[in-house]
Structure 1
Amino acid sequence: MTSPSPEALAALKAAAGSGGWTDDPSDIAPWLTEWRNRWKGHTPLMLTPRSTEEVAKLVTICAEHRVAIVPQGGDTGLVGGQIPFGEVLLSTRKLRAVRDVTPLDDAMTVEAGITLLEAQQAAEAAGRRFPLSLAAEGTATIGGVISTNAGGTQVVRYGMMRDLVLGLEAVMPNGEIFHGLKRLRKDNTGYDLKQLLIGAEGTLGVVTAATLKLFPIMRSRATAVVGLDSAHAAIELLARAKAETGGGVEAFELMKRIGVEFALKHIPDTREPLETTPPWYVLIELASGEPGAAEAALERLLGDAFEAGLITDAAIAQNDAQRAAFWKVREEQSAAQKPEGGGWKHDVSVPVSRIADFLDEASAAVERFEPGARISAFGHVGDGNMHYDILCPPGVEHAAFIGRWMQGSEVVHDVVARYNGSISAEHGLGRLKTEEARRYKTPLEVATMQAVRAAIDPLRIMNPAVLF
């Protein structure tokens, strides 16, 4: 890819207008590094359009001059797909409107720069709930979570972002606007174009607004942390929870003891969730539309689980503060690893029934490859997604350990493949995994994805380093 010409940069600045662009390195710098500090990018220009029409003008100019674009939301991605390396950076953070909330349709339309937390608050103000929830929700934007098909902690009940989008507005690679903001639950008129854009990581267009599904606000909610002797017991507990609550499970999060220890050691205002220190923990949350029903269901579930020998300890949150304390230990698992030096990160999924088997097999394979490595496994067991992180063994030189990242990842991902799983459950491929994915995708899958991209973005100006 060649650098944008002076003529192209001048045309983009003129179209963006005052306040709509910057080439000041100090202004751009905060948006060139991702959270894990794995990538430090560079760009000659950051565009900050304030409307869909402005985005369309800018993308049209880029297409005319064959200027590559990297769209960016809140810069919370974990695989580097939002970081430019010479491309123009197009930020959607100034697309800030809540266009409408329609409770009777259980829908709301918001622009791409609204944060996930702000979308939740807008829904709540109208007496509804937008259920997608993740640790970065105060910073992650709607455009970003759509482009990466984000998951989070409520997928077991409500699905991924793909399941929560009714309609989309987007600027296509030629500058045309796709007007697809519908509130329909049913529209069986051919290819679902919005689904191509969801999870495309900015390669097929720039998402500028979305119509999202809303849900009733639950009238009872109950949260507990339980201790278990094995991940196998957690899978049995999940099956029991789903059967006994009739779909009332909203979150079911597994944590290994070492990850809890990291949180207690490095994250302020965290405390032991249980009186004992079991090898595994599950954070379980039930919700119901009937007052008091979730609390009663959780007590029954835990009582039965104790009698069946599935759990060894439990604590039920007695108030919102205790619930928040439980969730803090879970949500800070990744941040708690940073002071330990970081490690090889894996965002994988396997069938729910095989999670415990995967953990056993992967851990044995990692031990053979890197004896003494510290494994912190945690994640969304309810939907089969585990964050399987491997930290440097004591006494091993850290730089050399990090240098073996790709070989170590291959060890883990080969186990995932044997279980017919995915090497990226919710983070996407980005710069980190695009090439590696070729090892696990079939030639047909790769060719089909390339054909779709070539048809929609023949100049390959949209996030050119990402996906096939």
Structure 2
Amino acid sequence: MTPTELSARLREVVGEAGLVTEPDQLAGYLTDWRDAYRGNAAVVVRPATTAEVAAVVSLCRDAGVALVPQGGNTGLCGGAVPDASGDQVVLSLTRLRRIREVDPANQTITVEAGVVLQQVQQAAAAVDRFFPLSLGAEGSCTIGGNLSTNAGGTGVLRYGTMRDLTLGLEVVLPDGRIWHGLRGLRKDNTGYDLKHLFIGAEGTLGVITAAVLKLYPALHGRATAWIALPSPQAAVDLIEILRARGGDRLTAFEIMSRQSVDFVLRHVPGTRDPFTSPHDWYALVELGDTRTDADLDGLLEAGLAEAFDRGLALDAVVASGSAQVAALWALREGISEAQNHEGPSLKHDVTVPVSSIAALVERTDRALQEAVPGIRIVVYGHIGDGNLHYNLSKPVDGDDEEFRSRADELARIVYDSTSSFDGSISAEHGLGQSKRDVMADYKDPVALDLMRGLKDLLDPVGLMNPGKVLPD
């Protein structure tokens, strides 16, 4: 089947609205939002139903053409960008945007892969429920992408990743069959839990088209604090204080280096430093409860009093209203975008046991400074679950291209340090194409063999998102 014949067949399946062929319209599908990865494609196809997705997959299989599933295209590892050949088909799921069912009694919501995360949050809130996944890109990322990368975000401390938030999936397999696994069951002991094959697989084993997700009772009480800390170890110790006092009311615990905050204050309009003097480290802490009379401010202030007594906190402000809460979160959520204004941003997303956080930061910072004196290290993340974003900017007077040329060397420093603490080189962003080639050096060989075996079983021809996740 020639490319022209394939396009004609695809048009018969999805209609004119479902096919993108014009160069000016294709551009947004061929690069990621950071413009860090670029590719080419024969065509972009946008099916509107699961049946259309299955027909598209079957056509491409018969034609021997590779597919690149794509959601909101907000990823950081190039997992949804086609290669440069121009032979691949981009399969955009953005027209699968129905919320099929909201079941408050079962505390579930069933949504299609193209539904934007923020829409799921809003649909849950409309029935006095709460969907806890929260990301900086929640206004544009889609549920299919969140599932394909096993997204985490700020609520993992209490609610877990997308694996923990998912009860059932609907998936189009590489041979075009549809697995109807949309069941809202919390107990189903009938063999292998197949949904976990596809969550985090980045479209290499099949195309997720819909999911049943968990909902929780809405949080009507919230207490938020911005805390100055002397060190990352102080943050780890503070987590234990707040857990002891608040239990699972501790819903978020974020850490940020001063360099991270400096970039936000410099580049994000409307932000301001909550304190009059700078500090080396900060934590953004939030407690939540379903009750409005839970006295979360009292719990938080008691925990902070203990932290001050033990020298773990240097200053603190407890938000007095929703506007101040939003202002504090803006300091955290603006970090990634703010750093982009400082030249090349080498982004790393790693995780270690919480108990190893302080040692990881000390060892990694020292090694990076030895390699590139004056390097600006932007460390921030979800310290409550051990996940740090270890992002690097060039020295103030450094050259952009020279710094980019050392990206692999600097990544190895971060990954080697992470591995020495039995950590992972990818916590929540996935592997995509950016980390697939180094993964073999850090992943257990038996685990890699099992992953390759699953790939060969489900996608023996290798047409599902080739060049991603698995090293050659």
Give yes or no for TM over 0.5. yes
Distance in 1 between the 2:8 and 2:65 partners?
12
Say which of 410, 413, 416 aligns to 1:414: 416
> Is 2:39 the partner of 1:41?
yes
User: What is the CA distance between 1:260 and its match in structure 2?
Assistant: 0.5
User: What is the CA distance between 1:394 and its match in structure 2?
Assistant: 2.5
Match of residue 264 from structure 1: 265
User: What is the CA distance between 1:169 and its match in structure 2?
Assistant: 0.5
Distance in 1 between the 2:42 and 2:274 partners?
48
Distance in 2 between the 1:182 and 1:153 partners?
27
Distance in 2 between the 1:364 and 1:292 partners?
46
- For residues 260-318 of structure 1, give each alpha carbon's deviation from its aligned partner in whole angstroms, at most 9, with x where no partner exists: 01001001111112233111000000011232322221111112211221101001111
> Is 2:305 the partner of 1:307?
no
Distance in 2 between the 1:325 and 1:57 partners?
47
Mapping 1:118-137, distance limit 5 Å: 118-137=119-138
Query: Where does the alignment leave 5 or more consecutive residues of structure 1 unmatched?
Result: none
Match of residue 10 from structure 1: 8
> Is 2:460 the partner of 1:458?
yes
- For residues 166-217 of structure 1, give each alpha carbon's deviation from its aligned partner in whole angstroms, at most 9, with x where no partner exists: 1001111111111000010011111111110000000111111100000001
Match of residue 361 from structure 1: 363
Contact 2:14–2:47 (CA<8 Å) still a contact in 1? yes
Distance in 1 between the 2:63 and 2:227 partners?
58
User: What is the CA distance between 1:65 and its match in structure 2?
Assistant: 1.0
- Could you tell me the TM-score, scaled by structure 1's length? 0.98
Match of residue 329 from structure 2: 327
> Is 2:347 the partner of 1:345?
yes
Change (3 A) 1:170 1:4: farther
Contact 2:31–2:37 (CA<8 Å) still a contact in 1? yes
Distance in 1 between the 2:290 and 2:398 partners?
52
Match of residue 28 from structure 1: 26
User: What is the CA distance between 1:13 and its match in structure 2?
Assistant: 2.3
- Identical counterparts, % of pairs: 47
- For residues 311-336 of structure 1, give each alpha carbon's deviation from its aligned partner in whole angstroms, at most 9, with x where no partner exists: 01001111111100100110010101
Mapping 1:209-358, distance limit 5 Å: 209-293=210-294, 294-358=296-360
Contact 1:69–1:89 (CA<8 Å) still a contact in 2? yes
Say which of 420, 443, 464 aligns to 1:441: 443
- For residues 382-415 of structure 1, give each alpha carbon's deviation from its aligned partner in whole angstroms, at most 9, with x where no partner exists: 1000001111112222201111100110011001
Contact 2:70–2:91 (CA<8 Å) still a contact in 1? yes
CA-based RMSD: 1.1
Contact 2:29–2:44 (CA<8 Å) still a contact in 1? no
Letter of the 1:410 counterpart: R
User: What is the CA distance between 1:41 and its match in structure 2?
Assistant: 1.5
Distance in 2 between the 1:321 and 1:274 partners?
17
User: What is the CA distance between 1:380 and its match in structure 2?
Assistant: 0.3
Runs of 4+ in 1 over 4 A off after TM superposition: none
Match of residue 56 from structure 1: 54
Contact 1:15–1:58 (CA<8 Å) still a contact in 2? yes
Letter of the 1:344 counterpart: L
Contact 1:4–1:67 (CA<8 Å) still a contact in 2? no
Secondary structure of the residue aligned to 1:110 is strand
Secondary structure of the residue aligned to 2:341 is helix
> Is 2:137 the partner of 1:139?
no
Distance in 2 between the 1:248 and 1:436 partners?
38
Contact 1:168–1:179 (CA<8 Å) still a contact in 2? yes
User: What is the CA distance between 1:4 and its match in structure 2?
Assistant: 6.4
Deviates more, 1:388-397 or 1:162-171: 388-397
Contact 1:263–1:332 (CA<8 Å) still a contact in 2? yes
Distance in 1 between the 2:446 and 2:430 partners?
19
Secondary structure of the residue aligned to 1:170 is strand
- For residues 412-453 of structure 1, give each alpha carbon's deviation from its aligned partner in whole angstroms, at most 9, with x where no partner exists: 100100000000000000010001101111221111100001
User: What is the CA distance between 1:68 and its match in structure 2?
Assistant: 0.3
Letter of the 2:383 counterpart: V
Secondary structure of the residue aligned to 1:432 is coil
Match of residue 116 from structure 2: 115
User: What is the CA distance between 1:9 and its match in structure 2?
Assistant: 2.8
Match of residue 193 from structure 1: 194
Letter of the 2:231 counterpart: S
